[in-house]
């Protein structure tokens, strides 16, 4: 049974409750995990619990997270779909600069193919990165997206998506090739992408929010804690359940390196928030 039900990424069917693998690498998303056995166990348990959507990138580690996924899950089940991203790289000072040239994007796609152990990548998101974590950056997406569209035509990528983008950049990308998902920051407290989320829902393109508990003020956290007590759940579970109920095109990819937190996150897919709790959470924005 797929936690949270299912949605499609192009012609791929995935569980709405997925798993984000970023936290499996070492501190600062750098190097291998401190506990490799637990990291592998978390990946395998996620799949055993019905997750069919794993989000990753070869710049996590770098390489370490994809190598873990391959060790834990390869050969992959036909029902399991791995979404990766390109557009950034890691530097020795643990920075995340943009990597959007033709050479960098092509190399990144081949790195993902090699380290995941596949001939074709299910979905590749183009990630736009700004200085000091500012997103989205007001640049044309045409040149880098055309590179990925060419690699898709070559048969190395099935589907393309976007990350850290504006509505205008989504429109620009869709004029070049189909877009099957968009990853932007969105949660109970941060609704800046409300308009984009609703526009994507109208054309049945999944919206994949990250930082489901990011940017809360103390007051907002207090309201979330109160709502969690009222439904006998954790604040994270309530935040995830609210997202699933917010729109049917939302797909979740909460990340963790803890087996216990993994189970709690997936259990949130079965949490139905009553109307009064939803109303209180809606009012946080």
100, 144 Cβ separation under 8 angstroms:
yes
Residue tagged active-site, from 60, 76, 186, 210: 60
Residue from 13, 4, 84 nearest 52 by CA: 13
Give the DSSP H or E segment for 46: helix 36-48
Residue with tokens 């045409």: 142
C-alpha 25, offset from chain centre: 16
Report CA torsion sign: 20, 159, 118, 58: negative
For the record, the structure tokens of 221 come out as 């956290």
For the record, the structure tokens of 280 come out as 């209180």
Distance CA(154)–CA(109), nearest Å, equals 12
Residue with tokens 């009222």: 230
163 sits in the region (left: phi over 0; alpha: psi -120 to 50; else beta) called beta
Residue from 58, 146, 70 nearest 102 by CA: 146
Report CA torsion sign: 260, 18, 96, 217: negative
Distance CA(192)–CA(75), nearest Å, equals 39
Indicate if 186 belongs to the active site.
no
What are the residue numbers of the active site?
Answer: 60
């Amino acid at each position: 049974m797929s936690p949270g039900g299912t949605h499609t990424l192009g012609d791929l069917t995935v569980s709405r409750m997925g798993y984000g693998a970023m936290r499996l690498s070492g501190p600062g998303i750098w190097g291998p995990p401190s506990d490799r056995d637990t990291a592998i166990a978390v990946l395998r348990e996620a799949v055993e619990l019905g997750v069919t959507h794993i989000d990753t990138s070869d710049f996590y580690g770098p390489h370490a997270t994809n190598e873990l996924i391959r060790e834990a899950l390869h050969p992959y089940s036909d029902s399991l779909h791995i979404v990766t991203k390109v557009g950034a790289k890691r530097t020795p000072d643990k920075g995340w600069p943009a990597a959007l040239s033709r050479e960098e994007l092509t190399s990144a796609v081949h790195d993902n193919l090699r380290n995941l152990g596949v001939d074709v990548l299910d979905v590749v998101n183009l990630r736009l990165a700004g200085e000091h974590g500012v997103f989205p950056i007001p640049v044309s997406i045409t040149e880098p997206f055309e590179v990925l569209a060419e690699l898709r035509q070559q048969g190395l990528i099935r589907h393309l998506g976007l990350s850290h983008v504006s509505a205008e950049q989504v429109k620009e990308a869709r004029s070049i090739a189909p877009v099957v998902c968009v990853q932007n920051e969105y949660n109970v407290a941060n609704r800046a992408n409300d308009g984009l989320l609703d526009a994507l829902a109208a054309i049945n393109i999944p919206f994949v929010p990250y930082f489901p508990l990011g940017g809360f003020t103390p007051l907002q956290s207090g309201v979330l804690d109160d709502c969690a007590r009222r439904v006998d759940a954790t604040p994270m579970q309530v935040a995830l359940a609210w997202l699933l109920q917010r729109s049917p095109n939302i797909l979740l990819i909460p990340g963790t390196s803890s087996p216990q937190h993994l189970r709690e996150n997936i259990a949130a897919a079965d949490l139905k928030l009553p109307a009064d709790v939803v109303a209180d959470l809606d009012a946080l924005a």
